[in-house]
Amino acid sequence: MYDTVILPKNSKSEILKLKRYVSYFVGDEISKTSIPCYYIKTVRAWYDLLNLTGIDDNLLKEFRYNVIPTKLRNAKIITDKQTLLILFCIIYFFKTKKYDMVKLFYQLLAVKFYANRVHTHMKHHCNSEVWSLALDNISSKHLYKTKGGIGSALLYLADIEYQKKKKTFLSNNFNQDDFIISLIYNLRHRIQQSFRAFANLYFKIIEEEKVTFKDLPEGEAENIQSNSSQVIANKISILICTYEQTDKLALLKAIDLSGIKKETGIMIVKYLEDVNHLEELRFIIILMDKIIDLKNCCLERNRLQLIRKIEKKERVSKYIVRNQILKLLFDLEIGYKLKNMNKSQLVVFFCHYILLFLKNRIC
């Protein structure tokens, strides 16, 4: 089955390089879906994937005409070479029973399909304030809500569809053409459904003009304590670094929203809970407050706006807040391990955890 599907670069070392690259790319892009109006640019991975897999146009053409069902060969989804390359890898790794790689490329396919949706629906314009408002007000039953963010929803859909396809493949009782068709369309359909509901609400808010975006209030949450930034920074840093208080709900949500590995997130928080890091953490919280008043971060859109500004290397006086966060993380006992990880993912995780920790205590 699928005898003609052979990955040119298939040695153990070459597969490991490919795995590391795709893992990094997926993690990076998933973490950035927490940024309103973020446009995933899969094209930047295209040439890297060609190089790492050894696949070229001729091989993709052979795959399209020898493996893809006749009725699908001229479909727009198949004539997209990026999708075709990902599908080639999924089929190859199914054939070679490397299921961890199948799952990884299924996640990459989910990222690709989501990128297509954003570019299609938000082709000419995207307002970050409307985006955040739509995300705040979407149905509580929507995947973006139940899974704690767009990135987590994408990983969830990829995993659900992967598990179904793996079960079908292992049964050895399936039609090859139908299997390939369902590989593509089932995942794309579920991602389309989720994003369409979100996009409909986005455009409904614009059409009904329920809010003037230049006049959006800085804070709408009630019962926020009227503490100064200094008091808030002191209180939060002492709770974390001195009393070693862990907020498990904030931790799990920060892991989901950033796409960071669970064990990595847990270790970061564990080693952050050290009195030696109190002053660094307190200083970072004060810097955050200089960008956006932390008492307004009870609102999700304000938290996301703050994270976006930090990721864009917002400067407070002579300090770049992102750099201060990375300095603190690299100062942790596991800092030497973190230096080899995706810096954006680390920063997004840290920001989500601290801001959710704060939200759960002052809102």
- The pLDDT tens digits of the residues spanning 142-160 come to 999 999 899 999 999 999 9
Distance CA 253, CA 356 (A): 8
Q: Evaluate if residue 224 carries a pLDDT over 50.
A: no
Distance CA 190, CA 143 (A): 10
Q: What is the pLDDT of residue 223?
A: 30
User: What's the per-residue H, E or C state across the chain?
Assistant: CCCCCCCCCCCHHHHHHHHHHHHHHHHHHHHHCCCCCCCCCCHHHHHHHHHHHCCCHHHHHHHHHHCCCHHHCCCHHHHCHHHHHHHHHHHHHHHCCCHHHHHHHHHHHHHHHHHHHHHHHCCCCCCHHHHHHHHHHCCCCCHHHHCCCHHHHHHHHHHHHHHHHHHHHHHCCCCHHHHHHHHHHHHHHHHHHHHHHHHHHHHHHHHHCCCCHHHCCCCCCCCCCCCCHHHHHHHHHHHHHHCCCCCHHHHHHHHHHHCCCHHHHHHHHHHHCCHHHHHHHHHHHHHHHHHCCHHHCCCHHHHHHHHHHHHCCCEECCEEHHHHHHHHHHHCCCHHHHCCCCHHHHHHHHHHHHHHHHHHHHC
Q: Evaluate if residue 217 carries a pLDDT over 80.
A: no
Same domain, 293 and 148: no
Could you give the number of structural domains in the chain? Answer: 2
Is there a domain that residue 213 lies in? Answer: no
pLDDT, tens digit, 9 for 90 and up, residues 349-359: 999 999 999 99
For residue 227, what pLDDT band results from cuts at 50, 70 and 90? very low
Is there a domain that residue 5 lies in? Answer: no
* Mean per-residue pLDDT, 2-21: 92
Same domain, 203 and 233: no
Distance CA 122, CA 128 (A): 11
Tokens describing residue 84: 């075709």
Q: Evaluate if residue 325 carries a pLDDT over 50.
A: yes
Same domain, 165 and 286: no
Is there a domain that residue 214 lies in? Answer: no
Distance CA 315, CA 324 (A): 10
Q: What is the pLDDT of residue 222?
A: 31
Same domain, 250 and 137: no
Same domain, 281 and 146: no
For residue 112, what pLDDT band results from cuts at 50, 70 and 90? very high
Residue that finishes a domain, picked among 151, 176, 208: 208
Share of the chain above pLDDT 90, in %: 54
The neighbour count for residue 286, using CB atoms within 10 Å, is 18
Q: Evaluate if residue 216 carries a pLDDT over 90.
A: no
Is there a domain that residue 334 lies in? Answer: yes
Distance CA 282, CA 229 (A): 10
Q: Evaluate if residue 210 carries a pLDDT over 50.
A: no
Is there a domain that residue 98 lies in? Answer: yes
Same domain, 199 and 239: no
Distance CA 296, CA 312 (A): 20
Q: What is the pLDDT of residue 124?
A: 61
Count Cα atoms within 13 angstroms, Cβ side, for 102. Answer: 20
Mean pLDDT (the chain) is 87
Contact, 90 vs 166, CB < 8 A? no
Residue that finishes a domain, picked among 179, 208, 237: 208
Tokens describing residue 286: 């004060």
Is there a domain that residue 223 lies in? Answer: no
**pLDDT: which is higher, 277 or 17:** 17
Same domain, 128 and 72: yes
For residue 213, what pLDDT band results from cuts at 50, 70 and 90? very low
Same domain, 234 and 287: yes
Same domain, 332 and 280: yes
Is there a domain that residue 192 lies in? Answer: yes
For residue 86, what pLDDT band results from cuts at 50, 70 and 90? very high
Q: Evaluate if residue 139 carries a pLDDT over 80.
A: yes
pLDDT, tens digit, 9 for 90 and up, residues 300-314: 999 999 999 999 999
Is there a domain that residue 4 lies in? Answer: no
* Mean per-residue pLDDT, 208-218: 41
**pLDDT: which is higher, 133 or 11:** 11
Tokens describing residue 197: 């509901």
Same domain, 179 and 123: yes
Give the bridge partners for 315, in sequence order. 320
Residue 39: domain span: 12-208
Same domain, 97 and 186: yes
Same domain, 190 and 71: yes
